[in-house]
Structure 1
Amino acid sequence: MNLPTASRPKRLIMNLNLLTPKRMKISGYYHLLALLAVHAVSGCTSSDSTESGQKKIPKQGVKPSYRIMTVSRKPVGQTVQLPGEFQAYQEVTIYPRATGFVERVLVDRGSAVRKGQVLMVLDAPETEERLAAARSNTLKTKAMLVASREHYRRLVASNQVPGSVSALDLETAQARVQADSASMLGEEANYRAMAKLKSYLRVVAPFDGYITERNVHPGALVGSGAKQDLPMMILQQQNRLRLVVDVPEAYSSQLREGQVLTFSVSAMPGKTFTGKISRRSGSMNKQFRSETVEIDVANKDRSLRPGMFAEIIVSAAGTPGALAVPTSAIVASTEGQYVIKVEDGRARKVDVRRGQASGDMIEVFGDLRPTDQVIINAREDIKEGIAVR
């Protein structure tokens, strides 16, 4: 049934009222989902088109670049600093050679002494008595020897008359002379020994130097029978010192006796000293593979002291005839050390042994010639026999 025209606006209003807020929210939600779906599809399409565009661009392979140089005979000189220690030119620890009590100590720590100077006097009364007894026995045996010789001389004179002296008496007198002579020699040796022992009661300096340690005082018992953990004194010659340095095997062969070396002392910054190589051990230390070298240093003003440390500068000229390559040309792997030689346009590994190094150059020893070419940016992944351009 057709409604009147006047009632149409009301119907329109009624239809609009059907769009409640709830239905409007649902409609907006579906609209948002539709927009997100369209965006995702367009993004995937764009991404696929980009990837397909990238796949169309072919990848170009990068050829490795090798740097090649000719092996040279360039001398690899090197200057190294080696630690050394000053020692007294002569040093002696003075222990008692006779048993006794310390009577007088004539020097102390820091005293300058001369050779033969008395440092200490010991007291041992029993030594004096034994010396007197030895002297008495010596005189006694001398008198007995004189008497036996005179008796034998008279028997020999009497024997000029046949039958006046028996042969047994003559032989007995001769044997008596020999026995008395032997006794006298023994007593004289004993007397000299006791006299020497008495001289040990006066301790004298064996050379010129300085007393650096004193461990006894008057009244102390010293000698072989007493417990002596420390020496009575220590004497050092300090006007001349020994600078002892251990030179590694790689550099010792280039040093020569009489060579002048420069050194510095950490206790005296800014000062440099010189000295000549005076002695070499001539053998290598098995533990450190080094040779001990001694440098004599004059020290009249005693500015240097035994026990100080020094830094010795040693210049090594390099091994004569050795070949040199950059350090980057040596490859160290589990297979060993080698360089990569370029031979007829192909890579070939050559085992080498390192020598002295200076800066970025190093000596190598192996199957190489001065005209050979090697790769100086060598790597372990470079295979044997690959083409090198």
Structure 2
Amino acid sequence: MSSNEIKTPAPRRLPGNLKVIALIIVAIAGAVVAYGLISRSRDKAALVSQAQERLIPIVKVIQPASRADAQPLTLPGTLQAFYSATVYARVSGYLKHWSVDIGAPVKSGQQLADIETPELDQQLKQSEANLETALANERLTEITSKRWQHLLASDSVSQQEADEKSGDYDAKKALSSAARADVDRLRVLESFKRITAPFDGVVTARKTDIGALINAGHDSGHELFTVADVHKLRLYVNVPQSYANLIQVGMKAKLDVPEHPGQTFDALLANNSRSVSEGSGTILVELEVDNKDGKLLPGEYGNVHFDLPRDMKAVQVPASALSFRKEGLTIATLTPDNRVAFRVVKISHDLGTVVEIDSGLAATDRLIDNPPDSLENGDQVRPAAEPAPSSTASAGGAKS
């Protein structure tokens, strides 16, 4: 070997423990890479699951209310006198004087006013004179008839002459009866000069005064007084047709009026018109209200409160739970697995913010309040009260 040749040193071999260390490092690196891949896959799956969960709409779930207590109903009503009579004159003349004014209590037959009737007085005097004349003629013909009957018995007069005298007597008697009837008629009219109250009550109107010209009758004259019996009042209420089958004769109600705040009056349903008004779609009912203390006035209005029996099958839901779809009026219900099922319902009574459903729902059903228009049958939803699924929580933990 020449001196110029370079000697290559022999490779050095690693000790055995260094090989083990290298293998461990490689394994750790592989584990880190594998863990990263698995973690990234988990994060991706969690994100997909979270996105899917976010696509499921969150809804507010409510339940129908089932009530067995009475159903309140308040309607406006009008009070009227139990009896009310407008008093007209039956004879013509001039008002001589009146003795009662508006607001005065009167008894049946009590004098309200007097009418001066000079023409009627003269007619009565003439009729009485005619009656006296007729009676005198009747007496004369009666005597003559009897005399001719005696003469007929002795054959002093003919049968024809006796019959004529008897017939004359009958005619005069009939004239006397006619004259007497005319006198009686005028005397009855004379009694109408005294205007009286038809029944116990209160004078609610006086439309005449001393010296006023009075014309007899309803057509040619005007009313003189109005008398109302207010010991009991009639209360008239127009009830909507939807409540017609719940309004029964004999049921009780409460009345309140503006001038007596905080006070109610008992009323009893006495009559039902049994007919629906075409113009208003309501039924007129009549109630009776005791008014012995005189606190209530005829002609005023008030609020009438009914306690109607409820339909035990009916349930109440908020009006916001209703939705109008092509099937009609519907309500969105939830199946046990939280899927949407629309049901067609029928409203029995609309109470404003709350409606009463008489078919299509049960008290145990779960409903969606204010359902979105995008919901369809079978859609998955999540009630707002339920917590989010655990996958969402695990996804958040992986991110952190």
- Give your verdict on TM over 0.5: yes
Q: 1:276 to 1:165 in 2, by over 3 A?
A: same
Counterparts of 1:113 and 1:182, CA distance in 2:
44
Counterparts of 1:388 and 1:163, CA distance in 2:
131
Question: Which amino acid in 2 is paired with 1:280?
Answer: N
Contact 2:91 2:217 in 1 (8 A): no
Alignment match, 2:183: 191
Map 1:157-168 → 2, pairs under 5 A: 159=152, 165-166=158-159, 168=160
Map 1:202-213 → 2, pairs under 5 A: 202-213=194-205
Map 1:93-112 → 2, pairs under 5 A: 93-112=86-105
Q: Deviations over 1:250-291 (max 9, x none)?
A: 334323333332222211222222232233333233222223
Contact 1:145 1:181 in 2 (8 A): yes
* SS of 1:239 mapped into structure 2: strand
Q: 1:340 to 1:125 in 2, by over 3 A?
A: same
1:118 and 2:130 correspond: no
**Which moves more between the two structures, 120-129 or 262-271?**
262-271
Contact 1:222 1:228 in 2 (8 A): no
Alignment match, 2:168: 176
1:258 and 2:239 correspond: no
Contact 1:76 1:362 in 2 (8 A): no
Q: 1:152 to 1:324 in 2, by over 3 A?
A: farther
Counterparts of 2:126 and 2:111, CA distance in 1:
27
Counterparts of 2:104 and 2:352, CA distance in 1:
51
Map 1:283-362 → 2, pairs under 5 A: 283-319=275-311, 321-322=313-314, 327-332=319-324, 336-339=328-331, 351-357=344-350, 362=355
Question: Which amino acid in 2 is paired with 1:290?
Answer: T
* SS of 2:274 mapped into structure 1: coil
Question: Which amino acid in 2 is paired with 1:85?
Answer: T
Contact 1:66 1:388 in 2 (8 A): no
Counterparts of 2:325 and 2:180, CA distance in 1:
79
* SS of 2:356 mapped into structure 1: strand
Counterparts of 2:148 and 2:293, CA distance in 1:
75
Counterparts of 2:217 and 2:351, CA distance in 1:
61
* SS of 2:121 mapped into structure 1: helix
Q: 1:348 to 1:157 in 2, by over 3 A?
A: farther
Counterparts of 2:90 and 2:256, CA distance in 1:
41
* SS of 2:310 mapped into structure 1: coil
* SS of 1:283 mapped into structure 2: strand
Counterparts of 1:261 and 1:361, CA distance in 2:
23
Count of aligned pairs: 330
Residue of structure 2 aligned with 1:277, choices 265, 269, 273: 269
Contact 2:64 2:366 in 1 (8 A): yes
1:233 deviates by 2.4
Residue of structure 2 aligned with 1:78, choices 42, 64, 71: 71
Question: Which amino acid in 1 is paired with 2:92?
Answer: T
Q: 1:209 to 1:334 in 2, by over 3 A?
A: farther
Q: Deviations over 1:297-343 (max 9, x none)?
A: 33333222223322221122224654655544533357643446789
* SS of 1:287 mapped into structure 2: coil
Counterparts of 1:282 and 1:201, CA distance in 2:
43
Question: Which amino acid in 1 is paired with 2:106?
Answer: V
Counterparts of 2:175 and 2:334, CA distance in 1:
93
Contact 2:313 2:358 in 1 (8 A): no
Question: Which amino acid in 2 is paired with 1:104?
Answer: H
1:204 deviates by 0.9
Counterparts of 1:376 and 1:171, CA distance in 2:
108
1:221 deviates by 1.4
1:130 deviates by 0.3
TM-score by length of 1: 0.68
Map 1:228-243 → 2, pairs under 5 A: 231-243=223-235
1:179 deviates by 3.1
Counterparts of 2:273 and 2:293, CA distance in 1:
29
* SS of 1:244 mapped into structure 2: strand
Q: Deviations over 1:326-374 (max 9, x none)?
A: 54453335764344678999977665432125687633355x4859968
Q: 1:334 to 1:274 in 2, by over 3 A?
A: same
Alignment match, 2:357: 364
Give the superposed CA RMSD.
4.0
Q: Deviations over 1:60-115 (max 9, x none)?
A: 47235678889897558431222222222222222222111111121223322221
Structure 1, gaps ≥5 residues long: 1-56
Residue of structure 2 aligned with 1:90, choices 78, 83, 86: 83
Alignment match, 1:47: none
* SS of 1:246 mapped into structure 2: strand
* SS of 2:302 mapped into structure 1: strand
Structure 2, gaps ≥5 residues long: 1-46, 382-400
Contact 1:77 1:358 in 2 (8 A): no
User: What percentage of residue pairs aligned between the two structures are identical?
Assistant: 24
* SS of 2:55 mapped into structure 1: coil
TM-score by length of 2: 0.67
1:248 deviates by 2.3
Alignment match, 2:120: 127
Counterparts of 2:144 and 2:326, CA distance in 1:
97
Counterparts of 1:333 and 1:230, CA distance in 2:
62
1:200 and 2:200 correspond: no
Contact 1:318 1:356 in 2 (8 A): no
Question: Which amino acid in 1 is paired with 2:293?
Answer: D
Contact 2:108 2:198 in 1 (8 A): yes
Question: Which amino acid in 2 is paired with 1:117?
Answer: Q
